[in-house]
Amino acid sequence: MTYIVEGESGPWEVVIGLEVHAQITSNAKLFSGAATAFGAEPNAQVSFIDAGFPGMLPVINHECVAQAVRTGLGLNAKVNLWSRFDRKNYFYADLPQGYQISQYAHPIIGEGAIDIELADGSTKTIGITRLHLEQDAGKSQHDQHPTKSFIDLNRSGVALMEVVSEPDMRSPEEAGAYLTKLRQIMRYLGTCDGNMDEGSMRADVNVSVRKAGEGFRTRCEVKNVNSIRFVMQAVETEARRQVEVWESGGTVEQETRLFDTSRGITRSMRSKEDAHDYRYFPDPDLPPLVIDAAWVEGLKAALPELPDARRARYVRDYGITPYDAHVLTLERETAAYYETVAKGRDAKQAANWVMGDLFAAINRTKSSIAEPPVSAADLGALLDLMADGTLSGKLAKEVFEVMVETGRAPGAIVEERGLKQVTDTGAIEAVIDQVLAANADKVAEYRSGKDKLFGFFVGQTMKAMQGKGNPALVNDVLKQKLS
């Protein structure tokens, strides 16, 4: 469905492109040997290189290059065997060198494309313009002192990938789906942890509006949006603002804007007088980045299965619906969990349990698929107990709840609590005989044609058996006795 902003002059189309800054998963920084872990004491993970001390020189981290290449391959993009680092010159308190080392003219990754999934079940291809490597800046804290900002350089020099999309998105939903997919791919690849809360992924959102059939109008860049929800909100609000500007006879100026999350609006970020002039030039401290085609092939061969392929395989091999396959492959951990449960079992039943009871339990216990309340092996064992008739569906749900509470294996719980289903026909007959004897009037009614009472006898029998009677056997014996 087409997303439209209704203006006074009629409908407007929205054009969106995203520049996503993703922190590369690595032990050490892009150009220094300092650590990258989140949450360290201020300035504890800083080398003199990261702090821009005199005479300090950058040496690139091989793994960061590999991570960029893996990501490029995951985005179906061209890998450039020759690339280069430029300096982007500007002054800022948390930019110690006075420049950011980035790949401006010659990025390591060129054009690519990914498919995004939309709510109506359709997919859309979004073009990737490029991916390049660059350094992150430090962090300024503005709330620690009445007249000062405090600078922490722990982030300074951490490796980032900037992934630039084509202006191919046309709605907040598409922007959200793109970011979701990009995050999913990088998490599958292990190249970015995608923790938006910790700043591992931030997006600059380029938004413009236009009338149907027009070329592009001037765009604005909404900087540093740090959640998928905010990206969608920023698109919506910025598009509406631009429509208002155009319709009131004004002109949208190309500028950088900030998304004010508390008020849900965007506002101009920097005044025009200090127009950006980054004075890019090749970093003379760094020779060109030259990588080997065979090495790239090796990385390609070692890539894990990506979400699209995995989803298709689930539909094909497990026979589950495309929607279920989509949900189960959103996170690599979920997919791995599901595959453990489904292996050698009823794959559809496994899908239902994972998406139903397990997800509910995760929500309820505020845990995660990475640290699930019930292990995949235990859930599999529970399914086995149903398959061999030990547990009814109802009992299985009860056992599952105990598993969530205690973290114990289903077999042990069944043993201990005597929850084992009764499949002994004689025992069932004995109970049924008692039930029928105690309800002779109802038996008479049933026999005189009141069929609906059958459920009553099942209920009474199960109640007498504390729910442990095998439902199929109970049914059979009852039918027999009542006929």
Partner 1 sequence: MHPTDFTLAGALAALNEGAISAEELTRAHVAAVEALNPKLNAFITTTSEKALDAARASDARRKRGEAGPLEGIPLAIKDLFCTEGVRTTAGSKILGNFIPPYESTVTAQLKRDGAVFLGKANLDEFAMGSSNLTSAYGGVLNPWQRKDDPSARLVPGGSSGGSAAAVAARMALGATGTDTGGSIRQPAAFCGITGIKPTYGRCSRFGIVAFASSLDQAGPFARTVEDCAILLRSMAGHDPKDSTSANQPVPDFAAACGRSVKGMRIGVPREYRLDGMPAEIEKLWRQGLDWLRDAGAEIVDISLPHTKYALPTYYIVAPAEASSNLARYDGVRFGLRVAEKDSDLRDLYERTRAEGFGAEVRRRIMIGTYVLSAGYYDAYYLKAQKIRALIASDFDAAWAKVDAIVTPATPSAAFAEGENADDPVKMYLNDVFTVTANLAGLPGLALPTGLDHQGLPLGLQVIGRAFDEETVFAVGAALERAADFKAMPAMRAGA
Partner 2 sequence: MSLDTATVRRVAALARLRLEEQDVARVQGELNGILGWIEQLQAVNTDGVEPMAGGTPGGVAAMPMREDVVTDGGQAEAVLANAPDREGEYFGVPKVVE
Residues of this chain that interact with partner 2 (CB under 8 A) are 26-28, 32-35, 41-49, 51, 59-65, 91, 93, 140-142, 144-153, 258, 269, 274, 277, 279, 282, 284, 286-290
Q: Which tokens hold the place of 56? A: 């300090």
Give the nearer residue to partner 2 in terms of CB position, either 33 or 407. Answer: 33
56 touches, from partner 2, partner 1, none (C-beta below 5 to 8 Å by class): partner 1
Q: Least distance from C-beta 88 to partner 2, angstroms?
A: 13
- Rounded CA-CA distance 170/177 in Å is 11
- Rounded CA-CA distance 74/177 in Å is 17
Binding mask 233-272 for partner 1 (x = CB under 8 A): ----------------------------------------
451 touches, from partner 1, partner 2, none (C-beta below 5 to 8 Å by class): none
- Rounded CA-CA distance 216/218 in Å is 7
- From 277, 292, 441, 451, residue interacting with partner 1 (rule: CB under 8 A): 277
Beta bridge mates, 374: none
- From 118, 245, 286, 453, residue interacting with partner 1 (rule: CB under 8 A): 286
Q: Least distance from C-beta 43 to partner 2, angstroms?
A: 4
- Rounded CA-CA distance 84/257 in Å is 29
Q: Least distance from C-beta 235 to partner 1, angstroms?
A: 29
Q: Least distance from C-beta 231 to partner 2, angstroms?
A: 19
Residue 156 DSSP class: T
Contact positions with partner 1 (CB under 8 A) in 51-70: 51-60
- Rounded CA-CA distance 479/218 in Å is 76
If one counts every other C-beta atom within 10 angstroms of the C-beta of residue 224, the result is 16
Task: Please give the torsion angle defined by the CA atoms of residues 305, 311, 314 and 315, in that order, rounded to the nearest 10 degrees.
Answer: -150
Give the nearer residue to partner 2 in terms of CB position, either 104 or 454. Answer: 104
DSSP string, 404-422: HHH---HHHHHHHHT-PPB
If one counts every other C-beta atom within 10 angstroms of the C-beta of residue 328, the result is 23
Give the nearer residue to partner 2 in terms of CB position, either 8 or 41. Answer: 41
Q: Least distance from C-beta 81 to partner 2, angstroms?
A: 10
| Using rule CB under 8 A, residue 285 touches partner 1 | yes
Beta strand pairing status for 82-83 and 5-7? unpaired
- From 211, 279, 450, 479, residue interacting with partner 1 (rule: CB under 8 A): 279
- The residue behind tokens 């920097």 is 270
Q: Which tokens hold the place of 424? A: 């002994």
Residue numbers at the binding site for partner 1 (CB under 8 A): 48, 51-60, 87, 89, 91, 93, 96-99, 149, 151, 277, 279-281, 284-287
